[in-house]
């Protein structure tokens, strides 16, 4: 069983130094350092500072810092999921003047060592990145295992308060309970391969296997809204989507993900999620969608033409790729 962060920290007793840099697990008192490390990133859409303190309370997470004196100059985090088998890499950060010097690799090596000592069942690493290219890796190559098209739209306050897109729905979408999510959507007996491409469920750029054991992790970081088509409870669902409100450094977001190969159901989920987002946020926000490439033209038509929203380029036009590689341990790098 994973140890709590406080227990793990006591086990990591040796503070390691390279070229006068200190590498150690992050602590709650590091918040201001992390805020400075994240300054100016992603046009106010950086997710790290709002969730940093929460991550430190998780018993399946780890965050490693590199410090030059008392200044944080790099950071790398991970979340251990899939019954302890997978370490999902998150939030790699390096201040500008230290980039291009291999520092993030050093932080990753210390994080890797940390995982070896405290999460011995980890055998895979995964990450999500907005890129059409395979991430570079000097030692262990990455492989692309899934890809999602993304769209980003600005929602103005007057639009969000006045919109009532439910009249466009020809199919009804309803809330999926936690129990239904666990017992049916994530059930080993369900046909998850028809809902989740490459057997992956991605929530806030964290890829999970669709396992019941992941449900607490999936629902703990955000208030995730789960949806299926009405009537799915009497048969295997043909569609599933999830969305949630996220507070970023200087932006509000709704992230909507869709899992269906039926265009009519996709449109119904899209409109339903947009309406739910407007009800929850009631102000200006950015509406993100993650879907199969084949559904992108339909999504753009609904959002641009039906709802008259303005598409924006927040993270570039690249898809969200999911990448995976074997976790080999730090000794293999020597």
Sorted by where each begins, the domain ranges of the chain are 5-122, 147-320
Residue 10 has pLDDT above 50, yes or no: no
Domain 5-122: state its class.
alpha beta
At 211, give phi and psi (nearest 5°).
-115, 140
How far is C-alpha 283 from the chain's CA centre?
23
Q: Is the dihedral of CA 274, 277, 283, 289 positive or negative?
A: negative
At 168, give phi and psi (nearest 5°).
-80, -15
Residue 163: per-residue pLDDT: 56
Residue 162: per-residue pLDDT: 58
- 310 falls in which pLDDT band (50, 70, 90)? very high
> What is the C-alpha separation between 327 and 219, in angstroms, rounded?
26
Pull the structure tokens for residue 176: 């999926």
Stretch 265-269: mean pLDDT: 97
Question: Mean pLDDT for the chain?
Answer: 86
Q: Same fold for the domain at 5-122 and the one at 147-320?
A: yes
Residue 18: per-residue pLDDT: 46
Stretch 310-314: mean pLDDT: 89
Q: Please write the tens of the pLDDT for every residue from 211-258.
A: 999 999 999 888 999 999 987 666 788 999 999 999 888 889 999 999
Q: Are 66 and 21 in contact (CB under 8 A)?
A: yes
> What is the C-alpha separation between 37 and 258, in angstroms, rounded?
33
- DSSP state, residue 249: S
Q: Please write the tens of the pLDDT for every residue from 161-181.
A: 655 555 555 689 999 999 999
At 176, give phi and psi (nearest 5°).
-95, 125
CATH architecture, domain 147-320: 3-Layer(aba) Sandwich (3.40)
Higher pLDDT, 227 or 134: 227
Stretch 191-215: mean pLDDT: 86
Pull the structure tokens for residue 186: 């994530």
Pull the structure tokens for residue 218: 């999936």
Q: Are 242 and 224 in contact (CB under 8 A)?
A: yes
Please compute, for residue 262, the number of CA atoms within 13 A of its CA located in the half-sphere on the CB side. Answer: 15
């Amino acid at each position: 069983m994973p140890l709590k962060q406080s227990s793990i920290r006591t086990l990591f007793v040796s503070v390691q130094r390279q070229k006068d840099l200190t590498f150690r697990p992050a602590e709650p008192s590091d918040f201001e350092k992390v805020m400075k490390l994240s300054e100016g990133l992603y046009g106010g859409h950086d997710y790290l500072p709002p969730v940093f303190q929460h991550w430190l309370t998780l018993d399946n997470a780890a965050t490693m810092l590199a410090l030059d004196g008392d200044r944080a100059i790099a950071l790398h985090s991970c979340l251990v999921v899939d019954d302890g088998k997978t370490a999902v890499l998150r939030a790699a950060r390096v201040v500008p003047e230290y980039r291009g010097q291999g520092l993030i690799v050093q932080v990753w090596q210390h994080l890797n060592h940390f995982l070896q000592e405290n999460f011995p069942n980890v055998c895979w690493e995964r990450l999500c990145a907005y890129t059409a290219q395979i991430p570079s890796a000097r030692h262990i190559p990455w492989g692309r295992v899934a890809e999602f098209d993304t769209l980003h739209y600005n929602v103005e306050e007057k639009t969000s308060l006045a919109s009532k897109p439910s009249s466009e729905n020809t199919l009804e979408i309803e809330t999926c309970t936690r129990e239904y999510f666990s017992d049916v959507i994530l059930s080993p007996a369900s046909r998850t391969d028809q809902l989740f491409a490459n057997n992956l469920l991605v929530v806030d750029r964290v890829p999970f296997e669709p396992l019941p054991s992941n449900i607490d992790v999936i629902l703990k970081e955000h208030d995730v809204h789960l949806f299926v088509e009405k009537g799915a409870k009497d048969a295997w669902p043909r569609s599933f989507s999830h969305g949630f409100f996220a507070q970023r450094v200087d932006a509000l977001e709704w992230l909507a993900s869709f899992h269906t190969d039926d265009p009519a159901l996709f449109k119904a989920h899209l409109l339903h999620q947009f309406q739910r987002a407007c009800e929850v946020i009631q102000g200006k926000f950015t509406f993100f969608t993650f879907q199969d490439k084949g559904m992108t033209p339909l999504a753009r038509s609904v959002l641009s033409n039906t709802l008259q929203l303005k598409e924006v380029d927040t993270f570039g036009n690249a898809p969200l790729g999911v990448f995976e590689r074997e976790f080999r341990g730090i000794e293999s790098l020597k």
